[in-house]
Amino acid sequence: MFSLHGKVAIVTGANTGLGQGMCAALAQAGADIAGVGRSDMSETGAIVEAAGARFLPIKADLLTLEPIDRIIAEAVDAFGKIDILVNNAGIIRREDAIDYSVQDWDDVMNTNIRTLFFLSQAAAKQFMKQGSGGKIINVASMLSYQGGIRVPAYTASKSAVMGVTKAMANEWAKYGINVNAIAPGYMVTNNTERLRQDPKRYGEILDRIPAGRWGEPSDMGGCAVFLASDAAAYVHGVTIPVDGGWQAR
């Protein structure tokens, strides 16, 4: 039920962090991976291949919509089909709301929600063409639920991710396409490096996590495999927190 053997997954933001962790888990479950990233993905490729799966690196900057058709085409050309899309790529810009710039707002919104939606649309069209359904997994955030501090565009984009996950699920479930999301809690990634370097904020966050630690990229793996597998065939439009109990506190 949880096997992904014979499946092909596109994972954005695959070069490091949560994306790399999910590539590893999906590969261990049997899926071949088309990894999308702006920088070198050789480390992720080695991890995937060590798990016995194939890896295709696709260089792309998801700040614009330009690479979308090419990403789908390259994955299909290499593997013959796609079965899973993981929309993990995202950026964050930290600044007081009173001083937040238009450029930072546009960059965050374009990457985190605009490209996510239209890449999902392109994948859904490919799934419908193949006629065998598919899985779309979006990466949301704790800030899909909360306001946050000094990250207004990130909060807006991740709230939108949770909403559009429901909207796409409503329309595409009838085609056998499951659209769901994972909301990671506070994770040790590049995006949180500046936050973790602030002793006051780091301590405040850690004190509220019942698990007593920040999450690691590997903590995303089980949920990603579940949502990508037949075990989640009747799961549509949900956002699952993977947060060490942060929301339960």
Would you name the residues annotated as active-site residues? 154
Question: What does the H/E/C string look like for 170-199?
Answer: HHHHHHCEEEEEEEECCECCHHHHHHHCCH
